[in-house]
Structure 1
Amino acid sequence: MKKVSFLAAWLMLAGITTGTAFAQAPIQFNARALVAISDADLSASALVDGNRYTTPGTRDQLTYISFPLNRNGQSIGTSNTLSNSMALTDKVLAIAPNGRLGFVVEGRGQLSDSLATIKGITDFPATNYMFAVDLSSPQKPLVKYRLPVGAGGALTAVALAPNGTSLVIASTESGKELKLIDLDASSKPKYVLTSASPVPGVAITDVTFHPGGQFVAYTTAAGEVGIMKYVVDEKTKKPYVAAHGKPVKVGTQPGSGKFTADGKHYVVADSKENKVFVVEFGTDETPVDAKIASQVATSEAPEAVAISPDGSVVAVISSMQSGQPFTNAAAGKSELALFALSGGQLTAGGKAQIDGVMPQAVEFDKTGDNLAIAIPEYLDYGMRNGGIEFYKVTKGAQPSLTKQPGRISLTRGVHAIRVVN
């Protein structure tokens, strides 16, 4: 094996080279920051064989990652004082447009480390709590408050309006499936209003504000996607929501959806149908029923989608059978796929196999040239972590992927990420 001499190493450190420039950093991501949350007490395979494989003392975590990165850890801050659940979609995390405030829906509570096995996800107690996190000091995220939002059921998703001061929260609480919150100047709730599901008696699993702020897309537990008008009453100055046209069925288990930046299309994947759908809503005053503009097949169990800022590329993360027990041949193998989007139509592009367990979140940077994906854990023994991996995107009629060499190691169970621009 050829060894590098100490003299050569010191010359390189001192910048005394033979004219070769230093290489580009191994992670390129055009954003001010990424915010991630990790559910440390649920291994993906526990949903199959019941074994939790917990590490005593490891707790759920929020991580604030500032760019550009450095190797001494000063670009990463953490908080271990809020719980969260990877049993929900990636919509359990919302970040204010200025990046100074975050909201985390708990959904399912934590269990004691001493409980080695579970019978199912219902062993984790359903909760209706939301955390608000002060992110103004990135190295020291601080929980401002833990707020009960409702009296029954479980919270499932949170959406923050483009103005950063209004929240819509989805839940399973019967007759009060939607929670509406406006924040005061100190970022505390003025009130918690409730509204019934637009589809009577059916729980809401996902909510997304339209870029214009006047509409909210919703997904039901029955596999339907629709849109509501978000209205502020002229007399009370308080908001309410009203169904705006009929929803459209997109499968049996749709995940979290996202709007294109122009608001013309809504993209959502269904993890049972193994398809990704482009939906069109009516956002004029006269209600129009939702309709499917296009749909294409994906690999098994698509979990989440991302759309490039220019609306030309859709990324879909599929967990496949990666969450199986480690002895299963399919364990730890998942997929990232790209699709070109034009006029509401999807065209398949490049794919990449991911060596990671049950990824559930994917995000573009502000230029759309790079992707970040969240990996809850790897096929690791001993020290078991999760991570964020990065890909370069080449746009075009058939967009392609190139894996970046670096990754960020996080507390295992990372399942939701948000970009701060």
Structure 2
Amino acid sequence: MPDVAGSDEIDLALPEQVQALVEWIGAGRRLTQTGRLTLADARALVPLLGTGDRLDPVIGGRVFRTRSSQELPRLNLLVEWAKAAGLVRAVGGKLVPVKKNAKLLSEPERLRAALFEAFAKIPSDAVVPSGWITSLVLPGFRETCAELRFQLASADWVTLEVLKSAVWADLAPRFVLDHLDAERLARLREITARDTAHVVALWRALGAVEADEGRVRLSEAVLRAVLAERGGAESGEELFRLRVMLDDTDPQVWRRVLVPASIRLDRLHGVLQAALGWTDSHLHVFTVGEARYGWRDPDFGEDIAAEDTVRLADIAPPGTIVGYEYDFGDGWEHEILVEAVVPAEPGMVYPRCVDGAAACPPEDCGGTWGYRDLRETLADPGAADHQEMLDWLGIEHAGQFDPAAFDVDAANRRITADWITRGTRGRG
């Protein structure tokens, strides 16, 4: 079986392979009764695209004739990927191009972004060939893609080993594995790591992931394109500059963020959570005057307008103060001032945090009064509950929690991770 992740033996880059495939299809190509490329077409495409698939392989001096295009994993992957991205579709026993998306073929960065966004929609057995020993990636393919996207967007650079561990930690609890002994469990983790690396290799071949000295990260160009497709800002677009202050905190917790003026309130909620450092574990509500916006739930109140139908620019022109309450138990009140309208700069990723100060309080610490008590307890090693608070925070000594700490780069990694994964990891 060819190494379908090995891009070194391929003449064309993966996006170029997809582009050449769609152009080759032309007005349409007949499919077999099982909906696959005919063998004759497959034999023409393997050398044309440089897929690296082996036709009529010779094993032990014996020729094994290729009898179906199904035996050519890289070619099958390209076809399924083009389908998932809406570049081609099967209609009436033929594979035909989708005219409305034809423009993508002449826009390399948008094509990469479209292919990257579509990856999780590919049938998993086209990405992880069925001839391989089955790992957790095959039944948990969408979850694998979501976790990898989140991890890659959350860090500037990350090692492949960290990604493998993150995927295993996410997938393993989803399956019943208690019947496996230590040896079989270790083998399952090993092949799950193999398939995780395979997915990352395909993203590298796509140009969506770049590597340096054993570490990987999302390509900035593809990241910008993905953000734009998901409602982020393009160069010159109007942005709102927001100053967000968490009430009654000392040191004062505040952030300055740039968001598209057209951002929906549900997406703004995600940006605020990420910029401040909250974990989106509780309910929230926006207020402008007497109007209230949030997640519509019969138990939440009938006077709440659905936040996913409202755009910030429609309710809060520059100079407006928007209230934002998070966690109705602890009652964290924020004041959002729409400071100004500014243009998006070329080459920048939006939404983004540009300034701020002080650490976000720990979740569920009891609101502003509880947070004040927590800091006083940490500052006094002789306090009766000093060790209890250390254990609750998961730290060994008080110096590991700095109320004044703020890292704008970490805030932006959280914002980006939230923006490109919200809706794919079990959140609305």
**TM-score after normalising by structure 1:** 0.22
Structure with greater proportional strand content:
1
**TM-score after normalising by structure 2:** 0.21
